[in-house]
Structure 1
Amino acid sequence: MLTNSTANDGAEPLAPVLFIPHGGGPLPLLGDPGHRLLTAFLKNLPSQLGNPSAIVLISAHWETAQATVTANAHPDLIYDYYGFPEESYALTYPAAGAPALAATVCELLDAAGIPAAIDPNRGFDHGMFVPLSLIYPNADIPCIQLSLINSLDPAVHIAMGRALKTLREQNVLVIGSGLSFHNLRAFAHPDAAVRAVEFDDWLVETCTDTSLSAGQREQRLINWASAPQARFSHPREEHLLPLMVCYGLAAEHRSAAELVFNDDMMGIKVSGFLWR
């Protein structure tokens, strides 16, 4: 049982929902100075997350035609990055899979009219194993991944999250793993830091401002591309969509998130959010 979650009308406490920036490839695990603050944040997260019985993680690095869930009981790692030091291709994260939980996730999605499938063979990509190696280094919590849908429709991803809201009652921690800024070519742009802050400020306000209703917040997220510097910050939205799933999952109980990280990563401000 999570002892630090908010109770739901006197029922069992709800597991938190978390969106994290996962950094650049394996760099958070390689001592990269540009990831120092992010690495420290990820290492210190367990004190805010309680003791989940399992983890469902939505990674920016897996897209499918329909929602798909990993059901490999002993997942391998997918080193889906290129040009990094040799040791980054020998990293391990031996967490068990959770086939029964994968089946439950599929059932919940199907019941909400969102077609879902099981992938019995896929392993964990770096959007999963890099941050979890820092958050839960003992790899002793069963984990599954849930894909993005390659339509990249924000409303669909919010609906995916909404369909999974009862997972919180089962002590399942849901993590969206992406980045609040993801424009790799822009890191060298002279105005990148300033332009990124414009979008980040909008995103922080959208996710945390308690004066916004849930409906207002959802419409802002659905129409995120009209925000200041939106397409500069996200030429393609796959790194933002895990946040949409998290919002959908958490919003019925509490639509406003807590800002738990808002600091520098490789010269760009990025943010992390927690719902509890």
Structure 2
Amino acid sequence: MLPSYFFAHGAPSIVLEDNSYTDLLKTFAANHPKPKAIVLFSAHWEENVQAVSASKTYSTIYDFGGFQDELYRMTYPAKGDRSLADRIVSLFESQGIQAVTDDERGLDHGAWAVLKLLYPDADIPVIALSVNRYLTNEQQYQIGKALAELREQDVLIIGSGGTVHNLRALNWRSEGVDDWAAGFDQWLQEHLESWDLDALFQYRTLAPYAAQAVPTSEHFIPLLLAMGAGDGIRQAKLLHRSYQYGNLSLSCWEFA
């Protein structure tokens, strides 16, 4: 059974960078079995009803501005998988989760920037999934859990977002780490490793610096979705954590 994963996607320029985090992403495929398909929740696709992509071949969405010209020439023409998309909708509906398919949307940078580093050949079918910031944290976890059985069929489930993601607080010249960002992530690590769902669902009131680290929840939600998909043995493992611009966290969590 494949674990599920949370990957921080950082800034779009991560695709062009060479650091310890991108090294982990670039070597991931060589160190793990090749999945039959990838199911990815992206923080950059928000819908009020759970959406499931059903594209035949994905276009590439450049949902950012002001970055290197090279980024706007990159593509990730992954194929979709209509039968898997329909199965995912059925799994959601069996758990009372309303879901719809989307035949047109391409892959936003929350999806393709991570996938291009993990599997640059774009030779694995991809199903992209939306997030909904208006649900409770427990509901987010249950959405991920509804897909847990796919891991038994060698489907890789990924949440793409960021545990500390406050663009207004970024310090573009900083080479250190802000205390508040490290403090929030340390609290998060302790409660992920102990699989303390009660505390995690209440992170906004219990975690130090939560308001600074998570001013809006769309980038945090994929962590709970990936964790829910890993509900089973309930083992969380931090594979990497570093920071850019003082507080933008680049972390990878594995859930088994």
TM category (shorter chain) comes to over 0.9
State the one-letter code of the partner of 1:153. T
Superposed, which structure 2 residues align to 1:66-145 within 5 Å?
66-145=49-128
Identity %: 37
- Of 41-50 and 167-176, more deviation after overlay is shown by 41-50
**Residues 1:20 and 2:13 aligned together:** no
- Aligned pair count reads 252
Q: Which residue of 2 aligns with 1:274?
A: 254
Candidates 187, 207, 214, aligned match of 1:202: 187
Alpha-carbon distance in structure 2 between the residues aligned to 1:48 and 1:199 = 30
**Residues 1:264 and 2:243 aligned together:** yes
Q: Can you list the C-alpha shifts for 1:186-235, whole angstroms capped at 9, x where unaligned?
A: 11398961110000101111112xxx3x5xx1112211112011110010
**Residues 1:52 and 2:56 aligned together:** no
Give the TM-score normalised by structure 2.
0.93
Give the TM-score normalised by structure 1.
0.87
Contact kept? 2:50, 2:130, Cα under 8 Å? yes
Alpha-carbon distance in structure 1 between the residues aligned to 2:9 and 2:27 = 14
Give the 3-state SS of the residue equivalent to 2:254 in structure 1: strand
Alpha-carbon distance in structure 2 between the residues aligned to 1:239 and 1:108 = 24
Q: Can you list the C-alpha shifts for 1:32-68, whole angstroms capped at 9, x where unaligned?
A: xxx6222112112224431100000000101111111
- Where does the alignment leave 5 or more consecutive residues of structure 2 unmatched? none
- Where does the alignment leave 5 or more consecutive residues of structure 1 unmatched? 1-13
Contact kept? 1:37, 1:264, Cα under 8 Å? no
Candidates 188, 199, 208, aligned match of 1:228: 208
Q: Which residue of 2 aligns with 1:6?
A: none
Q: Which residue of 1 aligns with 2:217?
A: 237
